[in-house]
Structure 1
Amino acid sequence: MKNLHSWILLLSIFIYAQGSCQVGIGTTSPRGALDINSPTTNNKGLVLPTNNSPTNMTNPQGGALAEGTVMYDNTEKCVKFYNGSTWSNCLCDTCGPSTSTIIADCTQNGFTGSYTSNIPLSGTTFTVTITNNSFSTSTLNLQPSDLVLSGVTGLTVSSVSPTTATLNAGQSQMLTYTITGTPNNKGTLTGTWSKLSLNCSNSVTVAPGVRFAYWGTAYSIGTSTFSTFNSQLTNTANYGPTGTYNKIGGFNFIDITSILGSATAASLLANYDVICIGANTEIDAASSLKIKGYVDGGGVATILLDQSFNTAIFQTFGGTGSVGAGATNGVTTTDTTNNGVFGTGTNASITGFGQQGRILLSQLASGSVVLATETASTNDIALWKTGTGGRAIFSWDEGVYRSSNITGTVIDTPQEIFLHNIMAYLLNARGF
């Protein structure tokens, strides 16, 4: 009897379908070509044809698949349909590992340019590549606020190009966000981009930058008079994340000539990593005391003398007598400070330029270490380190940084190697 009832039900469905071209399962009033519904059956789902790949689906009548064919892809865990030429992507946003119809990629370019703390950015951007994998045109309206920066302060997303992106099916577009400002700290800078349901992120390392302050507008490292030596400092092959001295990202030269009088040792220590005191302008005793306080507190300084110049600061650091008139040529000692990351700097011939100061061995403060002497006499001192922790380097002549032995941007002459080993020594002493 049960089988008879089943046959009667199937026959009824068949007769109704033939008469109305509609099929109702669980209902005698189908609301479409197929209506599966009934108070007693609508708690059951529809199980679609299932396969691990759309490429396995076939037309039972032979030939191409019919447009509108639907299946469940149990590899990507989602429903797909055939549009007459290709299979669609997954028909939901959150099912399985399928790819969204529009994707955003921050890894192709991400951050571009150089990022160093305390050095203003120039030409730096963050790039997002968006790709339209759907079958229709999509448009995105863009603003700088789409990109959020974190991990490093002092930076702003100032603009985006283009401001509107219209992508046809299968098309990709690069979105470029301009980043401006000065990184306030070293660390990891992260850019997180989001728009509607799209998002991606990328990161870049912000290397520590050296805040190199100089006093004296003419004869000091950092001024145009020392352009060749400055170019060696700013050459990233010499000083940079992949350079010979790789603990820093670069140098930022800052003129403190006009503000030293109102500064304190504490403010100097907080704002500057290295201070150079130039020659040919006499620094007074009060300012000299601030530089000594800066060094005592952990700062490092390179102090340039010249004939009869900078006696006050020489005496502030414990020297006696006055700066006299010296000779041009010198030679480095065998002290290990002279050797370093840039090579061997001991027993190297060095020369000044123009006039030179002269300091005798007997004039040096107790505990000073001689790094170079005048060639004619080891009692005539050319370079030495002194002060707390040996963090102050004195030079008998500012011209040692701009003589004919300082050429090009590559550090390769004995004098260049010696001087840059001294600079590396100061940076290490400052904690880089």
Structure 2
Amino acid sequence: MNAAAGEAQERLHFLQRLGELTGRIRATPEADDIMLEMSAELCNLFCADRITIYALSPDGACLESKLKTGLASFKQLKLPVSKESVAGYAALARRMVNLADVYDEAGLRAIDPALRFQQGVDRRTGYRTRQMLAAPILDGERLLGVVQLINNTRNCPFSAVVEEATGILCDAIATAFARAAGAPERDRSRFALLLPDAVLPRAQLETAMRSAAARGLDIEDVLLDELGIRIGIVGRALAQFYGVPYFTFQVERRRPQRLLDAFNRDFVVRHGWMPLEEGRNGLFVLAVDPDAARASGAFARVFPDATPIWCVTTRREFGWMTTQFFGADSDGGAEATTIRPGPGPARPDVSQALVGSAVLPLLEGALRQGVRELHIATESGPDGTIRFTVTGVLAHGRG
């Protein structure tokens, strides 16, 4: 076999392996499976010593690592979408960058006078980055992230074949990322799997989930109306599922006038989120599906300068709060079917608004300490006092 034939055979084998990997990536039900299962195969195929896959942050300002091979630390890498790094530039310019030596400042300036290579990781770890290829992950014109290859194991610049293959890889990852962004609403019912067996045995729960799906019902309504599960238990399962605090409905909660000035009932019902309270560390935002609300990017468009603190509640309680702040749906039309309010709760005997004001600083502090759920129970005293008990769940080991 002559050299040309051998080269053609090698290219064919490369493309076959690439097709197998990208096919698996496109078909994966969870985008993170790419990172967990295929990192070694991707490095081997592209002859890269390391690979990093970044996803664009919800606010679009930075890249957050989804996969980083070769680093001992599990700390997430964050890079601004700017010319201050190679990956950041690839995202900003939406173009592939292939560098033979990242320390060659003349080579960097030839691409863009402001382009820089972040040398901090090399300094901290003793690793020497040489070659680097970074390519944007795009869904049409929409930026989703960046693929970054580091150090060709053949100690030469990444070839034109690898450039072409990286573009194909980016297309496959874009498909997986786009699917994951649209998945939270469909997958929300899985929160029910976190209900304790003591509350609802697993076999009975699975039967209820199948029944809800067959009848086109929300599993939340089945749990509350047909199985009699307390709403607080459902809310705590949602909090555990999304990893955010659970906010219960409070009849005495005051409408945040300034925050809701730009909102109407139709928007809140269709999008399933609303701002609740301004805190020292950000804006508390209530959602029935924090993942979907976060992925939509709507918060950043409405509050471009605010930091969201996402909270979750049941659809039932969200419906009550929507009615409390915006009034009942007058025509009972389409928006009434999006968030089902259900029967309203009885007005409590104690002023929950006073308690809410008292414990808000406690909630903010709890969030900083990794408490993912805070539940407040109140009781009226005979002398007009209000006794309240606060319980929570600490996310052990959160860094």
Please report the TM-score for the alignment, with normalisation by the length of structure 2. 0.28
Structure with the higher fraction of residues in strand conformation: 1
Structure with the higher fraction of residues in helix conformation: 2
Please report the TM-score for the alignment, with normalisation by the length of structure 1. 0.26
Question: Computing the radius of gyration over CA atoms, which structure comes out larger, 1 or 2?
Answer: 1
Q: Which has the higher contact order (CA 8 A, sep 6+)?
A: 2
